[in-house]
Structure 1
Amino acid sequence: MSWYAYCIAERQAFPELSRHRRPMPLENVKGLFGNQVFLFPASDLAVLVSEHSEEDAARIDQQCQKDHARVIADCFKQTTLLPFRFNTTFTDDDALRRSIRSNHRHFVANLERFQGKAEMHLKVLVDDVEGASKMQTCCAGKEYLAGLREQAARQRERQARARALSVQLNRMFLPLAEEISCKRLDSGKLLIDIAHLIDRKCVERYQNKYVQAQQTMKDCQFQLSGPWPPYHFVHRPQTGHQTHQPAVPAQVVAAAARVPVAAVSA
């Protein structure tokens, strides 16, 4: 039987597993295609999985991304976890156990590191630097080189603006850690994508700071989601072979933004 994997948690977070060595149903939790979600015991860890057939694999769609996120969201309300990438599967029980065993130290270390932590996902939309436009591709020679220099200068301006804004927000929100990316949209706006790692007990304080930022930074448009599992901050284990492990899936982030809490994958 193939398994579809959602996330890893500490086994002790599920007392019902103390008397079980085989996968057991997680009551009232359904996964992809309405399949029952199981707790799969693996040493001192538990993996949330559901049965997965070849027919299921052939009909993976956007709704599945939302269902993946929803399962992780429900689990995250109960305990610290490490989400798997969307559409991570294992061919059988042995394959799942081998993967957990080979990365056990890494998983346990991350679960300890992120105990009581959460991620807040902040998107900031601002006007691009003045005069920023796509470079003409028809020019040549000196005009072309001048265009390249101008484009590089504008890119530096964008980066400097993004850094200045991120520093301002860092001082306001005081996160434990942050991950930032910046890109120019076709609309001519700059999108600054910020993940902040915080203590879960500080979520309300963070939300209050978000309201303050909206009121004081009138030239910015904000969008906030979370709390999420801290998937932007999970580092991959350095192994010599490919492993199934938590990391950051853009498509799942987009889907999960439409459900209460977030999810990730590997």
Structure 2
Amino acid sequence: MALYVYAITGQDHPLAVGDVTGVGADPSPVRALACGPLYAVVSDVSEEIRPKRRDLLIHQEVQERLMEGGPVLPLQFGYTAADEATVEQALRKDADGYLANLERLDGCVEYHVRAFQNEEELLRQILRETPETRELNDRIRAGDPDPQLPLTLGRAVAAQVRERQDALAAGLTDALVPYAREHDVRPATGDDLLNLSLLVSDDRREEFLSAQAGLVRQLGDGVEFRLSGPLPPYSFVR
């Protein structure tokens, strides 16, 4: 039977997931498959797993329970293997790498920080503080007939938006990274200006949270933070 694989842990992990029913239309109990010094946390599945709400929640519940008991290498949603032999072969093949990763992530959790800047407030700042854009805007409002003015203003404003948001993202990253053992900056999506993952050790979590809260107060209503965590260290599994 095919297996859905949630995570990899070490043999000394308490594995407090025995009462959890796994993913799928005909869910089976979550269990541990041992192979040498490692466990794969799995459940039997009989069909392709799609990202339905219940299954996503079960996947995350398993990860969070495992995280409470010690270091874990969480797999992204949807990973399946053909059978137990396939999982055991994968564990044996890279046992040293998995063990090194578990040691590296021991005592750490992931936090994810996204930031969004109020566009209207940013545009007002640019028109108020940048001589070039202020002059162009004043000429348009005064009725200057030059047809190139709106395009020139749009380009100037767009350049200022990129420059200011890049600078803000870099500043936020520089302020938070010192509290993390590792970090990962990814391209921001949508209207966000920051997409930052941080691996934070238990002994620095309060410092990190205090620093993040301080940034929120310092920047005020113009910047919206979305902090997720503590999370299993998805972004730092190598």
Q: TM-score, normalised by structure 1?
A: 0.68
Q: Please, which runs of 5 or more residues in structure 2 have no aligned partner?
A: 127-147
Mapped partners of 1:45, 1:72: distance in 2: 16
Letter of the structure 1 residue corresponding to residue 184 of structure 2 = E
| Equivalent residue, structure 2, for 1:43 | 36
Q: Report the 3-state secondary structure (helix = DSSP H, G, I; strand = E; otherwise coil) of the residue aligned with 1:165.
A: helix
Larger Rg over CA atoms: 2
* CA separation of 1:58 and 1:232: change in aligned 2, threshold 3 A: closer
| Equivalent residue, structure 1, for 2:129 | none
Correspondence 1:170 to 2:177: yes
* CA separation of 1:220 and 1:44: change in aligned 2, threshold 3 A: same
Q: Is the 8 A contact 2:74 2:237 kept in 1?
A: no
How far 1:49 sits from its partner (Å)?
0.3
Q: Is the 8 A contact 2:75 2:234 kept in 1?
A: no
Correspondence 1:7 to 2:3: no
RMSD: 3.0
Q: Pick one of 193, 203, 212 that aligns with 1:210.
A: 212
Alignment of 1:181-260 (within 5 A): 181-183=186-188, 185=190, 189-218=191-220, 219-235=222-238
Render the CA deviation track for 1:135-155: whole Å, top value 9, x for unaligned.
Answer: xxxxxxx9xxx8998667754
Percent identity, aligned pairs only? Answer: 23
Q: Is the 8 A contact 2:165 2:193 kept in 1?
A: no
* CA separation of 1:126 and 1:88: change in aligned 2, threshold 3 A: same
Mapped partners of 2:34, 2:187: distance in 1: 40
Higher relative contact order (CA 8 A, sep 6+): 1
Render the CA deviation track for 1:1-44: whole Å, top value 9, x for unaligned.
Answer: 11100000001123x9xxxxxxxx94212221442000110110
* CA separation of 1:121 and 1:201: change in aligned 2, threshold 3 A: same
How far 1:197 sits from its partner (Å)?
1.2
* CA separation of 1:10 and 1:158: change in aligned 2, threshold 3 A: same
Mapped partners of 2:109, 2:169: distance in 1: 23
How far 1:157 sits from its partner (Å)?
4.7
Alignment of 1:48-63 (within 5 A): 48-54=41-47, 57=48, 61-63=52-54
Render the CA deviation track for 1:221-246: whole Å, top value 9, x for unaligned.
Answer: 122221112221222xxxxxxxxxxx
| Equivalent residue, structure 1, for 2:80 | 89
